[in-house]
Each structure stands twice: as C-alpha cells, then as structure tokens.
A and B are shown apart, each in its own frame.
Chain A
Amino acid sequence: MSNKVKNNRVLDLMIQVIGVLVNLEIIYILFNLTQYSSFSSNIFLIVNGVGLLILVLIDLAIIFAIRMKSKKMDIVILVVFVFFVFFSSVTVYLVNKVNQGVDNIIVDNVQTETVYGVFITYKSTTIKDVKDIDGKTFGVISSEEFLEGNPLAKAELDKNNITVKYKEYENYNDLYLGLLAGEIDAAAMPDDFYDLFIVNEGYEEYLDETSIIYNYQAKVEVTNESDTNFDVTKNPFTVLIMGNDGRLSDTLIVATFNPYSFKATLTSIARDSYVPIDCYTNNASDKITHARVISRQCTINTVQNLLDIKIDFFAEVNFNGVVEIVDAMGGLLIDSPITFVGQSSDSERGHFTVWVPEGKNYLNGEQTLAFARERKLMPGGDFQRQLNQQQVISQLINQMLSTKDINILLSVLDAASSNIKTNMSLEQMMSLFNYSLSSMKNNYVDSEKIIDIQGSRITGYGSTNYNEAMELPLWIYRLYKGAIEDNRNFIINNLKYDYEPEIPADIQFSINWWTQRPVVYLEEYDEEKIHDVIPDIMPNMLSTNDGTWTLERATSWANSRNITLKVNRIEVGSPLYSDSYVHNQIVSQSEKYGRKTSKITNLTIGVIKKVLDCSNYDNRVYDECQDIVEDFVWNTTLDDLGEIRTWASQNNVTLQYTWITSDDSIYDASKAGKVYAQDPMAYTKIPADRVIRLQVFDYPFVELPKVDWTEAQIDEFARKLVNSLEQITYIRKYDGTKNEGTVLKVEPVYHERYAESKKFRTVDKLTLTLSTKVEPTLTIPNFVGTTVVDLQSWLDINGLKPSITKVEEVSEVNDGKIISISPSISNTSTYTKSTFPTSLTITVGKKADSVPATP
C-alpha cells in the first residue's frame, strides 16, 4: 500500500470520527433544548430545522469526501468539521450549564437531601462523647417527622451500639427546655439548633453553656408534593414563597396568580405568627418560622391549614440568593420610604454596613436584601418590611418580564440555580412564561403593567407567652381571626375563574379621578385579644432595648420589690469591663431574665465603675461625684475665703485654716488671700468628720506708720495696702508746731490672729491722726438763754480764758440767764482759739428786787 493511499485512509478515518462526533452533538443539543420548547414552539421548530439541515449537509459532505479520492477535499472538509466540533462542543457546554442550573432549581417529587444532626448536652461535666450517653436518658421528638429529632438520631445511636432511655417531647423547644431542666442528659437536635433558639430573647446564655458532643449526617428522601400535570396557563394557582435565613423561614408570602385576569396577590404572614404547626403533635402552636426547621412540607402544610387553601407550588429562596439574583439583573428599582444603613448578607448578625437611600433608586443585591430584611428602622416595623418584601418580588417579576437580554437571563438562571428551589416543573415555568409574554405582546399596555399585583398581610397583635419551665417570656404575634378570613377570601377570589359572573354596573371614568381599591384587610379587628398573664419577672438588665439599666434604676426596681441588692463593681481589667459601657451600667445579674420576682430575695449585679472626673459637671449626677470637696486651690477667686465659707456652710463643713504669713519661707505675696493646699484633695469625698483643712496665704505684714512720719511716708505706706481708701481713717489735728501732715498718732486695728503679736497686714484697718497748721474754727454754741456756768464750762473745755465782766440787768423773764455777750459769740461766729476775744462782757438777767443799784 502506497503512502498516498495510506494518508487518504487516515484522513477518511479522521473525517468519519469527527463526523460521528458532530452528528451526536447536534442530536444531543436539539434533544436537550426540546425541554424548553414550550417557551416558543415555532422558534424551536426552526432551530430543529436548522439543525437537521446542518446534519444532512455534514453527512453528505462526509459521504462525498469518502467517495472522492481528493486529499485536498479531505483536508478542507476536515478543517470545516473541526470548526463544527468546536462550535457544537461550546453549545453542548452551554446547554449542559443551563440544564444543570434548571435542575438545581427544580426539585423532584422525591428528592435525596443531606440532613445534618447533632447530640447536645447542657452544662454536663460527665458527658463529653457520644459513648458517655450509654445508659443515660436521651431526649427525642415524639413525631418521626422530626428527622434529626427522632428517626435519624435513634439510627445513629443504634449504629454506635449505644443504649439509652428515651424521653419524648413534642417539639424542639420543649426538648431543649427538658435538657435545661435536667430531665434528660442529652438531646437530639438539628445541627443549626443555635439559629433556631437564638431568636428568642434570653436563650443566649443557655446556648453558650450547651455543648455539641456528636455530629452526623444522613441522606434522606424528601417528598415534595407537586402536580406536574397542573396546567398553570388554565388554572389559577398558589405559590408559597419562603425566604430562608438558615433553617428558619424569615419570610412567608402566599402568592396567587390567575392566568385569565393576570391578577396576582401577595399575602405576607409574619414570621412570629403564633399558629398551630401542622407537624407538631396535636398541632401545637408555635411561631410559624419554626415549622421550616422540621421540614419544608411542614411549613407548607401549616400555611395550608392556617388559610384553608391548597398550596400548589413552593419557591424557596435563601438570603444570598436575593443578592446574587439582583446583581445578575443589574439592580432593582426600589422605592424606600427612608434612608438607612442595614445589615449585610454576612451570616454574622449585626453587620450594619449597607446604605440604602430614600426614594426610588436602583439598588444592588446587598442593598435590596437589606431593604427586604430591615425591620427595626422601618416606620411600621415588621409590617413595612412585609410591604418591602412584596415590592421586591413585584419588581423582580416586572423586570424579568421586561428583560430582553439573554445574557441577563442566563446570569439570573446561574444565580438562581444555587439559591432557589421550587417544585414547579420546567415545562410549567416555560409555558407560563411563554403564555405571559404572548398574552402581553398584543396589549396596548407595557408588559410590566399587565400583571396586576396586589399585596396584603395577615394582621395581628403582639403578645407574650410565659414559659413556666424555662421561666422565660416569649414574644409572639397572634393573628386576628378576621384578618385570616379576609386574606383567605382575598386569595380565594383570585383563584376563582369558573364562577357565576355578575352583570357589571355601568362604568364611569375621569382622568381626574383616582380608583380606590377595595380594602382587603384591616389593621385592627374588633376581637377579644388573647394575652397570657405574665408574672412580674426579672428583667434583662443587660439589654438596652428598654433603655440602659443603671445602678440607680436597678436600685429603684429592687427596692420596690423588697429585693436585697448587692453590687459588684466592675473596674478596668475585669473581663466584663468595656469602655463602651457608661458608668454605673449593669453588665451582669445573678438572677436570669424571666425568673419570677416572687422567687427572688437577693440580687447581685455587676456594675461598671469608671474613674470619674468629678470636675466634669456631667458626672455630678453620679453618687461618686456627690458630696465631694471642690477645688479650692489657686484658681479660686475668693474674697477673703467668702465663697469657701459659703460653700462650707451649705455643705455643713467645718473649715480649719493654717495661715501662711509673710514670715514663712514659702510665702507668695501674689497669692495672698488664696488657698495654697487643701485636705482632702479636690473632688474627693468630704470626710466623715466633715472637716476640711486649708492652708491659706495670709495677706503680708506691713510696718505701721510711726509718729512724726511725713505725708510722703504715709503715701508710701498706703500704697502697700490692699485698699487704702477703705482701710485708713484720717484725723486732722491742729498743731502749729509740726509740719502739715505729720503723724501725730497711729491707731491700728489688728486681726484677732495678730492682736497679741501686733502684726499689721496689708488688709487691716487703722486710724491716723495727722497734724495740721490750719487752726480749726471754734464751734460756738449759742449761750444766750444759758447760764454763766454753761459758758464757763465751754470755755474751759476749749482752753479759753478770757476775762469776764458780769453785768446784771433787770429782767423778770431771764432771771439768772445770759441776755447777751459782748463781743458777740454765737454759732455764726468764726473764731479760732487764737482769735477768740480776750475779754467778754456778759449781761445776766436779774429780778427787780434783787437788782442792785447801779454804782
């Protein structure tokens, strides 16, 4: 055989192998795409026709190449085929990827799922391993529907050859309470039991003391009730939308869709709704969110029973799914009533890092999730959250229906594949999608406006259950019966299509009118509200939900209940201490939250003690900064300690002084009158004896003026005084022998402390008698009408010795009294001593009989 023939055979063989490969790939692609044909039969027929044409052409080319003995032809065909292989392989990859995504979303009627379970103990020192359970009492759930709580746990014990005494409980909560109460030694739980219980206030401290001693996983078959023959284009249907956070259904929305009217309803059920749980023994009531922990079907059945409706399909989304799907869509147009910073999708609670602006904005995945989850910051709380979730769903549907970009749809499918589960079949979804698009296509109105989505929610009221076993109050949400009935009717009405129609009333319309939709539900119903009687219980003093608990508040609370309060001070260095706490904040309590106060006689609390700066008036509210000594040193502006004395008087404090005089070495004249030191120190407690000792700089001593000091010396002295005008009293005394202003006499007033030592301070007072050369004018009384004795007495007092001539004059009236004096002296006279007359003639009255004859 020649090389040429040999080469041709090799080429032929290669063409045949590749040809078979291309044939198989084309058939594979077309058969796999057929499941999406309900999306549009015509398009898929065309695709199949094109595929058929390609296949025929390829096979004819192969036959032609084999029959021809042309090496060039073989090579050309081979190159073309290689291209086809590449192209079809990429297509196969994409088809497989889409199929895989769809398969991930759609669950089969019977599906194998992996279940994770644990065995737990509470504060056990003896049980450290699963083998330690042998012979002990082991808690399980009575119903076998609780897989991790009963059949799987029992199987694991059998597998480990462990024999236990079983004690059965109705639900996981009761089982856990039994464990805490010591009724059992260990309990069977789902692996995420922590998430199940942590939502209840007060559980955290118990969970911290709970230990996992055994982990296991098991494959189980989960039955999903669904009817794949259900024609969603001819029958209205219900979908239970479950937004899951771990194993809890955080969001529950019953959606309905009527393919005739294109009306959809979204009815939200609050996650804390206290309703009979289908899979609990005797349908015991619990928060509806807990039903999902048991199983998806348990939640579905519970909702069915609550509303007395049939749930046709479910759609289950986890929180991360929202983020990825919205991001895949390039954002979602959301109208937020407020601006807030919400929680991220991070599994750790309390990560508030996602900013959501007020108003209509395109939000990314994280923002949309934060918007759908936010409850506390929303006006209206959980109710507004339910409306927000409905808005997210409506927008998702509308944007999906208006999306024409196949890349976006594939991205959404990719994101949904790992985050969404539904029992609606691919054919049902495709036919519904196709039906919707076809129906909308011819409508005058934009596609997204065709589906009339109306929201509602089952209203109720907050209430509290008191759990005697655990001694804990549990917040629940009781639904109004009227709200359940109204929402049921709302749902049923949208599911009706084959009913007795009514002739419509004549329609009237104006563009100035606004159509008011019928009211679906009421915020409140006139029903008797059920509230359990909650006993007076120990509050959670560590919580700030109801304001910060401080020592003062706790004291008041304890006193009003005759509970003896013991306080442990938590200072820097203690594990309980944190700078974020305020002074006096309570950080530990000996009695657990929820315990009846009737059982409490003593309470020990840990109270943050910070080193308070009592100079800060904000801290004066605390006991530590009350009844304290003020700072009297230096910076006080005391006027002879007047303010200190006032303070001492007001605070019932005795002041003791040590005076630092200018004789002391430490004396500082500039600090005169101010406190140098104090005992106790400033901002410390006033001592028990309420005595405060002060060292005070006294005013400096100064040399007193001396007799004969001149006026200049006096001026110099006066400048040393603190306030000479107030301190010095001047007296002028005539002394013709001395210079004007010469000191004649000094009369100091010593402070009592220096009376003995006769030390004069710059603040003390004194009287100075100074000489004057100006003879003072005599102050002369009016002597007329007085006696000569009076006159002589005044003259003696003033040192005057004039010669006096006495003349008597008959006078009946002025007998013995001076009638006149010559020269005249009276109060108008301006005589001085030296100018006073040297002789005086005094006329004195005398009765007639006694008047002697004039000589």
Chain B
Amino acid sequence: MKFRVTKTILFEIIMVIGILAILFNMGSIVLGQSNFDGKQNSGLEFNGVYAIPQNPTELQKTLYKALSDELELSPDDRINEADLVVQNFIADYYTWTNKAGSYDVGGLAFVVNHSYLLLMDASRISFYKDLDAFSLKYGKDQLIEVESIETNAMYSANFKFLENEYPAYYIEAEWTYVDREVFPEDKFQRRAAFTVINYDGVLQIAQFYVW
C-alpha cells in the first residue's frame, strides 16, 4: 500500500479546523445553557398504584416503601393501607423543599382520581400561593419539610360522592416539620382529619379538614 502523504495535508488541516469548530460550537452550547433552575430529575416513581416524584425526602421514601409493602401484602383489612395513604399524602403535600414551584402541588397521586385537579387549583390560590415568595426569601431548602407524622386510623360511615356511596376510613393526623432557624415552620398547618375512600379498589383521599 502506497500513501500520497503530501496531498492529504490540506485535508488533515480541514479536518482539524472542522473538529475545532464543532468543539467550539459544543462549548458555546454548554456555556449558553439556559439560566432556569427547574427540576432536573425526570419522571415519577410508580408502584403500580401510587406515584411520588423522584426527589422525595427520606420520610417520603420510608412511607412510600411502607405503602408499597402494604400493597404487596394485600390484607383483607385495609385500614393500615389507608393510614399509609394519608401519611404519604402529608409527607408530600406539606413538604415544599422538593417542589419546583407553587404549581408543583404535592400529594395529588393520593387524591381521588377525578378530583385531584380541584385540590391543585385550590392549593395554588391558597396554601401554595406564596411558596415561590417563601422560596426566594428563605431559600428552597429552608421551606417546610414534614419530619414526623402521628395518625389515628378508624373506620367510618360510607362517604357519598356523586350519588354513590363508598366505604371510608377516618384518619386523624398530626405532623411536625423539620426545625428551621429563621423560617416560621411552626406557624404552618400541623393537623387534619382525613377521609379515605375505596374508589374502584384504590384507597384515595376524598376530603380533609382541620379538627
């Protein structure tokens, strides 16, 4: 094999220039990445019934695992499952440290399917309304984060929804937040009574109120 070395120098130069140009271009893409600070994770974790974001707190992870384990057991008495649904909801809804913004309302996966948008809309004009302002003032990692939850689950009368009655559980819950130095977490909601219904075989939250 004979090579014509001298005649390829031009192309070797072109190739080097091309490579440098593309590398320069890639560098400009890296440097010019958009400035926003949105969530960088992707997708949701899903256990076949319920979903939570992939950036959960330790408490969320523990509670979600407990709920997933309970689902595996499939006991006849589902009061424990109802209790865990409420705890998972509280851990997600009342934790703001992992929220992208006030639009990112937590716990919706544990609310009755047809109605989670109602909770989202209600939250965006009430409980979540100032989340972004709190975040800018105190920093995202200083926002409320549920630390522990105490519940008292019991059976309830059937719950009426859209002319139908569903078996229901009544669960009183109290929770605490991670202590913050400056953020006034002690002034945020810390208790509620939940009604969990068996909606098409899935236990979901139908209502909650302050008791």
Interface residues of chain A, those whose CB is within 8 Å of chain B, are: 12, 16, 19-20, 23, 26-27, 30-31, 34, 37-38, 41, 44-45, 48-49, 51-52, 55-56, 59-60, 62-63, 66-69, 231, 233-234, 258-263, 430-431, 434-435, 438-439, 441-445, 449-450, 452, 496-515, 517-518
Q: How far is the CB of A50 from chain B (nearest CB, A)?
A: 10
Q: How far is the CB of A68 from chain B (nearest CB, A)?
A: 7
CA separation between A234 and B136, bound complex, in Å?
11
Contact A67:B25 (CB < 8 A) given known A37-B32, A497-B136: no
Binds A, one of B65-73, B116-124, B146-154, B174-182: B116-124
Contact A431:B35 (CB < 8 A) given known A69-B2, A442-B41: yes
Q: How far is the CB of B140 from chain A (nearest CB, A)?
A: 11
Residue interface mask B72-116, A partner, CB < 8 A = 1: 000000000000000000000000000011111100110110111
Indicate if the CB atoms of B12 and A63 lie closer than 8 Å.
yes
Indicate if the CB atoms of B34 and A260 lie closer than 8 Å.
no
Checking B133, B192, B209 against A500 with a beta-carbon cut-off of 8 angstroms, the contacting residue is B133
Neighbouring B residues of A445 by C-beta, 8 Å: 105, 108, 116-117, 120
Checking A52, A260, A505, A511 against B112 with a beta-carbon cut-off of 8 angstroms, the contacting residue is A511
Indicate if the CB atoms of A55 and B103 lie closer than 8 Å.
no
Closest to A512 in B: B161
CA separation between A63 and B15, bound complex, in Å?
10
Q: Can you name 12 A-B pairs with beta carbons within 8 Å?
A: A20-B14, A38-B32, A41-B29, A52-B26, A67-B5, A261-B101, A443-B100, A496-B133, A497-B133, A497-B136, A504-B189, A507-B123
Interface residues of B in 1-27 (CB under 8 A from A): 1-5, 7-8, 10-12, 14-15, 18-19, 21-23, 25-26
CA separation between A261 and B209, bound complex, in Å?
25
Q: How far is the CB of A613 from chain B (nearest CB, A)?
A: 63
CA separation between A732 and B29, bound complex, in Å?
138
CA separation between A443 and B210, bound complex, in Å?
27
Contact A502:B130 (CB < 8 A) given known A12-B7, A66-B7, A261-B101: yes
Contact A45:B30 (CB < 8 A) given known A52-B19, A67-B4, A506-B210: yes
Indicate if the CB atoms of A435 and B32 lie closer than 8 Å.
no
Indicate if the CB atoms of B15 and A511 lie closer than 8 Å.
no
Neighbouring A residues of B129 by C-beta, 8 Å: 504
Contact A503:B15 (CB < 8 A) given known A66-B8, A452-B103: no
Contact A234:B210 (CB < 8 A) given known A12-B7, A66-B11: no
Interface residues of B in 179-211 (CB under 8 A from A): 184, 187-189, 192, 206-210
Checking B10, B112, B187, B206 against A503 with a beta-carbon cut-off of 8 angstroms, the contacting residue is B187
Q: How far is the CB of B102 from chain A (nearest CB, A)?
A: 4
CA separation between A52 and B4, bound complex, in Å?
25
Closest to B93 in A: A507
CA separation between A260 and B131, bound complex, in Å?
9
Closest to B101 in A: A260
Neighbouring A residues of B160 by C-beta, 8 Å: 512
CA separation between A262 and B104, bound complex, in Å?
9
Indicate if the CB atoms of B7 and A263 lie closer than 8 Å.
no
Indicate if the CB atoms of B207 and A512 lie closer than 8 Å.
yes
Indicate if the CB atoms of B8 and A442 lie closer than 8 Å.
no
Checking A55, A500, A507, A515 against B118 with a beta-carbon cut-off of 8 angstroms, the contacting residue is A515
CA separation between A643 and B127, bound complex, in Å?
89
**Known contacts A234-B37, A508-B207; 17 further A-B pairs (Cβ under 8 A):** A30-B25, A31-B25, A48-B22, A49-B26, A55-B15, A63-B12, A67-B3, A439-B38, A439-B100, A441-B39, A442-B41, A445-B116, A452-B103, A509-B122, A511-B111, A515-B121, A518-B125
Neighbouring A residues of B42 by C-beta, 8 Å: 441-442
Checking A55, A260, A443 against B19 with a beta-carbon cut-off of 8 angstroms, the contacting residue is A55
Indicate if the CB atoms of A508 and B36 lie closer than 8 Å.
no
Indicate if the CB atoms of B104 and A443 lie closer than 8 Å.
yes
CA separation between A507 and B127, bound complex, in Å?
6
Neighbouring B residues of A515 by C-beta, 8 Å: 118, 121-122, 125
Indicate if the CB atoms of A505 and B126 lie closer than 8 Å.
yes
Q: How far is the CB of B82 from chain A (nearest CB, A)?
A: 16
Neighbouring B residues of A514 by C-beta, 8 Å: 118
CA separation between A255 and B101, bound complex, in Å?
20
Neighbouring B residues of A59 by C-beta, 8 Å: 11-12, 14-15, 18
CA separation between A209 and B38, bound complex, in Å?
62
B167 in contact (CB, < 8 A): no
Q: How far is the CB of A429 from chain B (nearest CB, A)?
A: 11
CA separation between A136 and B71, bound complex, in Å?
93
Neighbouring A residues of B133 by C-beta, 8 Å: 496-501
CA separation between A233 and B132, bound complex, in Å?
13
CA separation between A725 and B51, bound complex, in Å?
108
CA separation between A322 and B35, bound complex, in Å?
32
Indicate if the CB atoms of B22 and A234 lie closer than 8 Å.
no
Indicate if the CB atoms of A52 and B125 lie closer than 8 Å.
no
CA separation between A233 and B23, bound complex, in Å?
27
Neighbouring A residues of B121 by C-beta, 8 Å: 452, 515
Neighbouring B residues of A55 by C-beta, 8 Å: 15, 18-19, 22
CA separation between A260 and B15, bound complex, in Å?
46
CA separation between A260 and B39, bound complex, in Å?
12
Indicate if the CB atoms of B29 and A501 lie closer than 8 Å.
no
Neighbouring B residues of A509 by C-beta, 8 Å: 118-119, 122, 207-209
Checking B26, B119, B127 against A45 with a beta-carbon cut-off of 8 angstroms, the contacting residue is B26
Indicate if the CB atoms of B11 and A63 lie closer than 8 Å.
yes
Contact A444:B109 (CB < 8 A) given known A34-B28, A41-B33, A234-B35: yes
Checking B35, B117, B122, B187 against A507 with a beta-carbon cut-off of 8 angstroms, the contacting residue is B122
Neighbouring B residues of A23 by C-beta, 8 Å: 14-15, 18
CA separation between A606 and B38, bound complex, in Å?
72
Closest to A55 in B: B18
Contact A452:B39 (CB < 8 A) given known A30-B22, A503-B184, A510-B207: no
Neighbouring A residues of B54 by C-beta, 8 Å: 442
Neighbouring B residues of A450 by C-beta, 8 Å: 103
Neighbouring B residues of A442 by C-beta, 8 Å: 39, 41-44, 53-54, 100, 104
Neighbouring A residues of B11 by C-beta, 8 Å: 16, 19, 59, 62-63, 66
CA separation between A441 and B43, bound complex, in Å?
7
Indicate if the CB atoms of B116 and A48 lie closer than 8 Å.
no
